Amino acid sequence: MSLRADRPARRGDPVTDDDVEIVRDDEASRYRLLLGGGQAGFAKFRASPGRIIFTHTVVDPAFEGRGLGSMLARWVVEDAIRRGERIVPRCPFIAAWLRKHPGYEESIDWPGGQSATA
């Protein structure tokens, strides 16, 4: 089900992968979460060869409660792995998401000696 463009999205409206576009914007050092062509959130990062440090993730409050943050987290983590980057989750949201979703441990460098259970 797609969101209708003639009315604003509301909390609880269903969202499918077809409604969402996530793009990496290296110039702005962020992944942009687009919903219906407009930005609904982002994940900021710092990149260096072979490494990506996630620093801050935001979903616009108008779109909270619809699973968009989790979609964004999964996408950025899996994109980093596809690119061969080590993930450093300094962003509390990305870190929490990784702790709840095992299977990525071999690609993570926890900051400050943290662990997945910290």
Give me the phi and psi of 78, to 5 degrees please. Answer: -70, -35
Radius of gyration of the chain from its Cα atoms, rounded to whole angstroms: 15
The pTM is what? Answer: 0.82
Tell me, yes or no, whether 53 lies in a domain: yes
Rounded Cα gap, residues 76 and 33, in angstroms: 10
- Which CATH number characterizes residue 71's domain? 3.40.630.30
Tell me, yes or no, whether 62 lies in a domain: yes
For the chain, how many structural domains are there in total? 1
Domain around 72: 19-105
Tell me, yes or no, whether 115 lies in a domain: no
Rounded Cα gap, residues 73 and 107, in angstroms: 14
For 75-113, the pLDDT digits (tens) are 999 999 999 999 999 999 999 999 999 999 999 999 987
Give the SS3 label for residue 84.
coil
For 26-67, the pLDDT digits (tens) are 999 999 999 988 999 999 999 999 999 999 999 999 988 989
Tell me, yes or no, whether 8 lies in a domain: no
